[in-house]
Chain A
Amino acid sequence: MSALAFFFIVISLLSFVMAQLILKRAMEFSRTAGLRNARFTSLAAIGTALMTVSFFLTLGLLQRFDLSYLYPFQGLSVIFITLLAAVALKENLSARLTLGAILISAGIILVSIS
């Protein structure tokens, strides 16, 4: 794998993780403030834009690598998103949830490299 490919994989993963956190915040906000306000619209727009960036970068990577090769990196998103949701969004993270997230990530990686 070239440095360029690694760069695009990391950017794609980062933008996907950020998008999930921002969209979650947008939807949480909409529960109390509704959908017609500037804060919700801008958060949803940023989240959607980041998802789009991640989508096209993945499409570019899929032209060069097997899906099974790219999947382990997507598997890592489970750990990143679970931990960051606990830190940045102050969600409850029990030992059980953490262990579950680690097992899911490990399983996805095992499936991909086998």
Chain B
Amino acid sequence: MQNRPTGFGNPWLQLGLSVACVFVSELLLKRGATDVAEPHSAFSWTGINGLESPLVWWAILLIVASFISWLYVLRHIPLTVAYPLSRVVDILVPLGCWIFLGELISTTRWCGIALVVIGLALVAKPVAQIEERL
């Protein structure tokens, strides 16, 4: 992590951008896949018929963007740190559904979200200390 670039090239900023793109693309993919679902066709197991949905194409665009950011992240941050941190998206998605779509979150689900937050804190804290020393 020595000599890491600053500004837009900061790998932590790129990790955030990558996560944001994945977050939006997940919601678009689910909507798109549901719109064009053909559960009775064997071909649809390949997922290729999903391309009929414009939402899927927007999601692909975001996935490509997140992929480029992610490759950049991989260049600078160890996978054992970067990948667990990228899973912050797994709490953003249910929280997004709660805030934007008015869906209810059960007690069990809140517990799950709490576990992810504790896990993320465990992974992120040593990283923050390393950054401070630099």
A residues sitting closer than 8 Å to B (CB atoms) are 4, 8, 20-21, 23-24, 27-28, 30-31, 44, 48, 51, 55-64, 67, 71, 74-75, 77-78, 81-82, 85-86, 89, 91-94, 96-97, 99-114
Contacts and interface: CB of A to CB of B under 8 A. Distances in A.
A67 B89 CA distance: 14
A28 B73 CA distance: 11
Interface in B21-46: 26, 29-30, 33-34, 36-39, 44-46
B114 A91 contact: no
B45 A96 contact: no
B80 A111 contact: no
B101 to A, nearest CB: 13
B126 interface: yes
B119 A63 contact: no
A96 B126 contact: yes
Given A75-B90, A81-B79, A92-B78, A107 B115 contact: yes
A13 to B, nearest CB: 14
Contacts of A109: 112
7 contacts: A20-B83, A23-B70, A28-B74, A63-B37, A78-B83, A97-B81, A114-B107
Given A27-B75, A78-B87, A85-B83, A101 B48 contact: no
B88 to A, nearest CB: 9
B18 to A, nearest CB: 13
B67 A51 contact: yes
Given A27-B71, A59-B50, A63-B39, A106 B80 contact: no
A86 to B, nearest CB: 6
B90 A111 contact: yes
Contacts of A4: 45
Contacts of B122: 96-97, 99-100, 103
Given A60-B44, A94-B126, A101 B119 contact: yes
Given A59-B33, A63-B44, A96-B122, A86 B112 contact: no
B113 A111 contact: yes
A108 B116 contact: yes
A56 B112 contact: no
B119 A55 contact: no
Given A60-B45, A109-B112, A111-B113, A86 B80 contact: yes
